[in-house]
Amino acid sequence: MLSAIYPNGVVMKKIFGLLLAVLFCIAGNEALAQISDLNMAINKAGRQRMLSQRMAKAYFQIGQQVEVERSKKILDASVATFERQLSELKSFAPTPEIKENYLKLDKLWVAYKDVLVGTPPSQDNGRKVLELSDQVLALAHQGTVMLEKQSGTTAGRLVNISGRQRMLSQRMAKFYQAIAWGIGNEKSAEELEKARKDFVAAHQELSNAPINTPQIKDSLELVKQQWVFFDAALNQKAVADKRPQINVATTSERILEEMEVVVGLYEKLK
């Protein structure tokens, strides 16, 4: 009967189309529901800070021909994650002020993304990336702080602080690679050193947090171990054979992985 109404396989196309519509509807609902509480929102907002710096780092590495394929994957994945989380944070925003902040970030993101992926990396565009990465970071940080204040809990504060450690790991690497590529500005070296001091101080604060679980303590110890390697890499002067630049690229990713674990553990605390 159906084949008479929908000849030549049209019925199958209709059914397939309906199935796709249902799946897209389900996927859309899941996307809207991905942020379920303030701790999760603070985590994702904090991750936006990190991604703003990680994308710049990857861009500078591609421009220098450092870990090119891996850096391209990092850039592509970071762009996709930033875009997805920005949509989630706009949908979740619990106050008009937070919503407005993410609408501003959305507009700035359009300009940043265009420079990051619009054309092959160049030093001229690299200088724009360096500037825009800080502007995006400022708005992403503001959103994170606003969400932490909305939370008003010790756990929310620790999610913010640990999340900022992720950003600092990528910020240090960003400035290192910018200087190595010859596009760093007059403040790049100073900002790199400031980020190093901030990272060490914040790690001490996290380590002393009274609500730390044994698992959090173990994870922070792993971060401390990775910091030794990352700090040593940052102390190396960039040279033509790119080995120091490669060391910074790889160690910055390792410490980021360990910090992601820490933030996730703090997020689960109530």
For residues 142 and 136, what is the distance between their CA atoms, to the nearest angstrom?
10
Three-state SS for 215-227 is HHHHHHHHHHHHH
Coil, helix or strand at residue 38:
helix
In this prediction, residue 15 carries a pLDDT of 41
d(CA 190, CA 194): 6
- Taking only the tens place, the pLDDT of each residue in 132-190 is 999 999 999 999 999 999 999 999 999 999 999 999 999 999 999 999 999 999 999 99
Query: Which helix or strand (DSSP H or E) is residue 19 part of?
Result: helix 10-32
pLDDT at residue 171, as a whole number:
98
Token representation of residue 131: 């500037």
User: SS in 3 state form for 43-98?
Assistant: HHHHHHHHHHHHHHHHHHHHHHCCCHHHHHHHHHHHHHHHHHHHHHHHHHCCCHHH
Q: How far is CA 220 from CA 121, 158, 178, in A?
A: 36, 13, 28
Q: What is the mean pLDDT of the chain?
A: 90
Closest CA relative to residue 64, chosen from 200, 205, 206, 176: 176
CB 49 within 8 A of CB 164: yes
Within 8 A by CB and 6+ apart from 165, the residues are 199, 202, 203, 206, 223, 259, 262, 263
- pLDDT more than 70, % of the chain: 88
Q: Does 22 score more than 80 pLDDT?
A: no
